[in-house]
Structure 1
Amino acid sequence: MDLLQRTAHEVRDLMRKKEISSKELTEAALDRIEKIDGQIEAFLHTSRERALTWAQEVDKRLQEGQELSDLAGIPMALKDNICTEGIPTTCASKILGNFVPPYNATVTEKLYQGKAILVGKTNMDEFAMGSSTENSAFRKTKNPWDEQRVPGGSSGGSAAAVASSEVFYALGSDTGGSIRQPASFCGLVGLKPTYGLVSRYGLIAYASSLDQIGPLTKDVEDCALVLNAIAGHDPMDSTSAEGKEVDYRKALISDVKGLKIGIAKEYFGEGIDEAVKRNVYAAIEQLKSLGADYEEVSLPHTEYALPTYYILASSECSSNLARFDGIRYGYRTESYDNLTDLFVKTRSEGFGEEVKRRIMLGTYALSSGYYDAYYKKALQVRTLIKQDFDKAFEKFDVLIAPTTPTPAFRLGEKTDDPLQMYMSDVCTVPINIAGIPAISVPCGFVEGLPVGLQIMGKHFAESTLLRVAYTVEQNNAYHKERPAL
């Protein structure tokens, strides 16, 4: 158990010293999943035989003295909307319950090339639509810190799997906060990269202009290692950005002298828990004591971010999810009278309530007569929100805010009120709208529940974010805390 609670870079060093083998590590992870996942319900599928075969191959290479990547031989998990050849990829939806992809996502392929060990696919809100992982068609994942509470969403399964030491790191996807919010709720580091830095090829789309894949890890160093493995231009993704390769390990410096921090005042207003604010401000004061300067900054269009996000995301989901019709793959209704009846019944039976709600909202926003009033207006406001960030970054190196308004809420607390659930993303959605990067790092606890500090940067400033996050981490011990299961 002590071994599994370590970070990826710590077990990498142990493997290189030949103190442990990848097979031992992988068996330990799989045994732990078998033992405790009934409590947490983080996984939808596991691949025991495949994982152990790959681990033995890594051990053979280590014995031969071959040079291996930082993540070689280390057990990890992927959110179940990231395609894996020969392994089910369901998006936690009945409509994709029997889908096994014939290809790998680019991030999957990159991790495989580095000899990472995939042990399984994690639970999520159906098609990544949700903030609590309660919208899954198959199970409700629990927060390892308190099993009566949600792990966050939509990447709640990935976050819970890492927080409960079932795997050393996991990938999630972030459309409006779905990596950072569960990272905050589960006491992890979660990075939403700049839009275009990490390929979306093989990520089953929810909202294509907002989705980004990123890591959930136990500390900032692991985050840098995973980002090194998955970032980079991909010709298979038309929105993938070209640029020079960066080694994010070089950003792991505990030094913020002269750094200019903007405190986004709109993120500290109504609805933000006082105890969360106190923890975030304590971290800001600590950065100041280490040589950073900070002052308040206004992002005036923040109040429009949530409605803008839900119009844009729902419109794109209405378009993207039109492909799930029972004709080519996935679930198909058993009885139907004609083609239209097949479509209607398949989609009615296959999609959950939240997915249907967002498809309906998006179809309405895109419909004739309403397109200009809703979708076009949302695109215009998106530009204003991006301009707010651009202006702030002319003066500041990073912006800091809480990751979430509150610590993890109770299971079932917000399921009957979708608007209350949507409000839990109020601090995270503006970042996706603007396409900038942001990282959540643990900064304290409220009544035994983790609190996340969110650090935002300009486009492709991941190195700066990692440096600030690393400095925060090196000056406290919150990232070393583990839930007692």
Structure 2
Amino acid sequence: MDNLTRLSLKDLRDGLVRKDFTALEATDAYLAAIEAGNDKLNAYVAITADAARSMARASDARIAQGEAGPLEGVPLGIKDLFATKGVHTQAASHILDGFKPEYESTVTANLWRDGAVMLGKLNMDEFAMGSSNETSYYGPVVNPWRGEGSSKALVAGGSSGGSAAAVAAWMCAGATATDTGGSIRQPAAFTGTVGIKPTYGRCSRWGVVAYASSLDQAGSIARSVEDSALMLASMSGFDAKDSTSADLAVPDFAAAVERGVKGLVIGVPREYRMDGMPAEIETLWQQGLEWLKAEGATIRDISLPHTKYALPAYYVVSPAEASSNLARYDGVRYGLRVTGKDITDMYELTRAEGFGREVKRRVMIGTYVLSAGYYDAYYVRAQKVRTLIKRDFEEAFNAGVDAILTPATPSAAFGVADQDMAADPVKMYLNDVFTVTVNMAGLPGIGVPAGKDAQGLPLGLQLIGKPFDEETLFAAGRVIERSAALDLAPAKWW
């Protein structure tokens, strides 16, 4: 069968069960796509072709025996932050050179349990620190989308840029990703894909390289809302190995996709209408509200008054936690080791060479805000702001709001090595302005493609939901997806 890589995850899964084609054929089709295009896109940092074919053959055997799992034979890409036993796991960092764990992350173990096939490990910002996938030790990911009539290379977003680019370029049927401040939803918006960041605790963090432990959450990037729901159902579940894992049953997310929004109240936070927001983002936001209203939702203006403090508070809390989490990388037990004249010198030389510029910046910021004399002024105050942000959302939901609609990003994808961004890190951090509140409050959020800018580049909208109510996000996201009716196939140049 031709164009197996162009099938949705659901259609691919259903075709496998019907035996229209084999899992090995689907896997070979994706491996061929990776071989043909990865040199230009740099989405994969490790390709596990032999393991993928072995897993596909095992899937074909289970299908033949009538024992197919929910994702049986579906080829997936895995972000380089997830531990995969015996396979390259380096968080796209030089300091983890050669690291192949002797254990499997809970999320990937759940996917293999349900029959999924691993194609390889996906590029990302180093230790998930970045908004453009340019901080990776392996170089930037290139977005498969380009502006009309332009050959300019664009970023795929970060930190899950490899995941988003691989999905958008038909190099996997879906991909795992993680989101600490927008690292699923922002790259999804930049690449015309769907990204779900579930409620904190929905997916286990065990075996996922930590950036900021109270903010990190695993999720998926896929080509449709339904595909995202199918992936999340397999990824989710309680894990006794993760003390922050929620002991809750996993709903049938896919069953909620076509539920519609009739009777729902959709909140519109006035604080998200920021000075200088491009007119096309404002127009898209209004269009999204009209689509939801036309399907029976009620639109209500709401206030989230502490939104303006979210970004500065986030850039205190996340570096503080990062400085603690990254202290374990010292060159002693695994990864890179640079020889020094004594152990202290070895620590210093290893960390200086092993960490990239952005990681060093955040470690230094984090160490500063946790240091004596500054802890109360910065870290404690940021945590208090976080409590107020969470309370804003609680008050909105308690007042009858079912979900909140906002833009996903302040713009479409920008250029690789953009000089304005490179010269001013704060401009890069502002890409997270619409997404960080969700992580600070531990809420679920979904990014759905909803339009295109003047250059024909994808733009996304974000839906924010109540804790553990991802089902409403899938239902509302599907309404936007269906109403937008976009052609989300980038013109192939790679």
TM interval, shorter chain, is over 0.9
**Which residue does the alignment assign to 1:11?**
12
Matched, 1:439 2:439: no
Deviations 1:288-325 (A, max 9, x none): 11111102211111110011001000000000000000
Kindly indicate whether residue 463 of structure 2 is the aligned counterpart of residue 455 of structure 1.
yes
Contact 1:188 1:479 in 2 (8 A): no
Shift of 1:380: 0.4
Q: Report the counterpart of residue 325 of structure 1 in structure 2.
A: 330
Aligned to 1:121: 121
Per-residue CA shift, 1:145-167, capped at 9, x if unaligned? 02611000000001000000000
Report how far residue 474 of structure 1 moved. Answer: 2.3
How far, CA to CA, are the matches of 2:72 and 2:321 in structure 1? 36
- Once residues 243 and 179 of structure 1 are traced to their aligned partners in structure 2, the CA distance between those partners, rounded to angstroms, is 23
1:113-160 Cα distance to aligned partner (Å, 9 max, x none): 111000000000000000000000112100100261100000000100
CA RMSD of aligned residues (A): 1.1
C-alpha contact 2:407 2:434 (8 A) present in aligned 1: yes
Tell me the amino acid that sits aligned with residue 90 of structure 2.
T
Q: 3-state DSSP class of the match of 1:400?
A: strand
Aligned pairs, how many? 483
Looking at structure 2, the residues matched to 84 and 327 of structure 1 have their Cα atoms a distance apart, in angstroms, of 21
Taking the aligned partners of 2:244 and 2:491, their CA distance within structure 1 comes to 38
Q: Which amino acid aligns with 1:471?
A: V
In structure 1, the partner of 2:234 is 229
2:214 counterpart residue number: 209
Which consecutive unaligned segments of at least 5 residues does structure 1 have? none
Cα distance, 1:480 vs structure 2: 4.7
**Structure 2 residue 257 is matched with structure 1 residue 257:** no
The 5 A counterparts of 1:147-158 are 148-158=153-163
Structure-to-structure mapping, 1:161-310, within 5 angstroms? 161-310=166-315
Counterparts of 1:207 and 1:34 in 2: how far apart (Å)? 34
Residues in 2 aligned to 1:220 and 1:398: alpha-carbon distance in whole angstroms: 16
What SS class does the counterpart of residue 449 from structure 2 fall into? strand
Q: What secondary structure, in the 3-state scheme, does the structure 2 residue paired with 1:399 have?
A: strand
Amino acid at match of 1:63: A
Among residues 422, 425, 436, which one is paired with 2:432 in the alignment? 425
Deviation at 1:482, TM superposition (A): 4.1
Q: Does residue 341 of the first structure (1) align with residue 345 of the second (2)?
A: yes
Counterpart Cα distance in 2 of 1:207 and 1:184 = 23
User: 1:459 and 1:61 mapped to 2: Cα distance?
Assistant: 36
CA contact (8 A) 1:268 1:401 kept: no
Cα distance, 1:69 vs structure 2: 2.0
- Residues 204-235 of structure 1: per-residue CA shift (max 9 Å, x gap): 00000000000000001111111110111100
Q: TM-score, normalised by structure 1?
A: 0.98
Q: Is 1:387 the equivalent of 2:391? A: yes
1-structure distance, mates of 2:24, 2:368: 52
Q: Per-residue deviation at 1:264? A: 1.3
Match of 1:340, SS state, is helix
Match for residue 364 of structure 2? 360
Identity %: 46
Secondary structure in 2 aligned to 1:68? coil
Where does residue 38 of structure 2 map in the other structure? Answer: 37
CA contact (8 A) 2:144 2:490 kept: no
AA in 1 matched with 2:426: L
The Cα of 1:483 is off from its aligned counterpart by 4.1
Report the secondary structure of 2:4's partner residue.
Answer: coil
Q: Deviations over 1:414-450 (max 9, x none)?
A: 1221000000100000100000000000101112110
Distance 1:403 1:268 in 2: 12
Change (3 A) 1:327 1:271: farther
Corresponding letter in the other structure for 1:390: E
* CA distance, structure 1, for counterparts of residue 7 and residue 70 of structure 2: 15
Per-residue Cα deviation, 1:249-296 (whole angstroms, up to 9, x for no partner) = 221125211110111122221242211221121121011111111022
1:109 is matched with which residue?
109
Higher deviation after alignment, 453-462 or 465-474: 465-474
Is residue 470 from structure 1 mapped to residue 478 from structure 2 by the alignment?
Answer: yes
CA distance in 2, matches of 1:291, 1:356: 49
Contact between 1:74 and 1:168, CA under 8 Å: does it hold in 2?
yes
In structure 1, C-alpha distance between the alignment counterparts of 2:342 and 2:297, rounded to whole Å: 66
Deviation at 1:472, TM superposition (A): 1.6
Counterparts of 1:60-79 in structure 2, within 5 Å, are 60-64=61-65, 66-79=66-79
Deviations 1:317-369 (A, max 9, x none): 000000000111110003x1111111111100100000000000000000001
Residue aligned with 1:415, SS: helix
Instruction: Give the TM-score normalised by the residue count of structure 2.
Output: 0.96
Distance 2:90 2:343 in 1: 24
Q: State the secondary structure of the residue aligned to 2:262.
A: coil
Distance 1:26 1:119 in 2: 8
Could you tell me how far apart the structure 1 residues matched to 2:490 and 2:7 are?
A: 10
Aligned 8 A contact 1:163 1:483 in 2: no
Q: SS where residue 4 of structure 1 aligns?
A: helix
Give the CA deviation at 1:56.
1.1
CA–CA distance in 2 between the matches of 1:11 and 1:272?
39
